[in-house]
């Protein structure tokens, strides 16, 4: 079982379906949900809050990040994270980032893979089995 999942998606319906798939998959028992990239970045800025909400379990925590959101898109979030990782402000080893989007466009997939720290690209809706397989590929057998 992994430490937890942070789900960043502006669609309440998509978060609901994903939360159900996560529970059915058995990959974790702790899911934090945010409807914007700004909320994710604010959490990452507040280490005490991150520990309180994500728990004291060792990293990495899984981040499922949507691309198409109002305000900051998923790619905007990746740009900020890239800058933080490069300057040492954040540690990429504390999270496994997977894009979790309705876009199956090859250009979006290629752009996401251009960020060396994006581990996977999942098209939603994802089944419990698909989530379990993706997590297993990056955390070992679940």
3-state secondary structure 93-110: HHEEEEEEECCCCHHHHH
In the chain, where the domains are located: 5-137
pLDDT given at position 58? 59
CB atoms within 10 A of CB 93: 10
5-137 is classed in which CATH architecture? 3-Layer(aba) Sandwich (3.40)
In this prediction, residue 142 carries a pLDDT of 40
Residues of the chain with pLDDT under 70: 55-59, 140-142
Reported pTM: 0.92
Confidence at residue 117, expressed as pLDDT on a 0 to 100 scale: 95
pLDDT of residue 133: 94
Q: What is the pLDDT of residue 55?
A: 66
């Amino acid at each position: 079982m992994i430490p937890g999942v942070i789900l960043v998606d502006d669609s309440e319906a998509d978060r609901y379906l994903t939360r159900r798939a996560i529970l059915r998959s058995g990959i974790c028992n702790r899911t934090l949900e945010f409807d914007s990239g700004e909320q994710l970045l604010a959490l990452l800025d507040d280490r005490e809050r991150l520990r309180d909400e994500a728990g004291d379990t060792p990293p990495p925590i899984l981040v499922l990040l949507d691309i198409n959101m109002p305000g900051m898109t998923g790619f905007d979030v990746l740009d900020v994270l890239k800058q933080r990782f490069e300057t040492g402000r954040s540690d990429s080893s504390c999270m496994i980032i997977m894009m979790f989007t309705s876009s199956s466009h090859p250009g979006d997939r290629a752009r996401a893979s251009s960020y060396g720290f994006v581990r996977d690209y999942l098209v939603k809706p994802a089944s419990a089995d698909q989530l379990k397989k993706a997590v297993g590929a990056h955390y070992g057998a679940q």
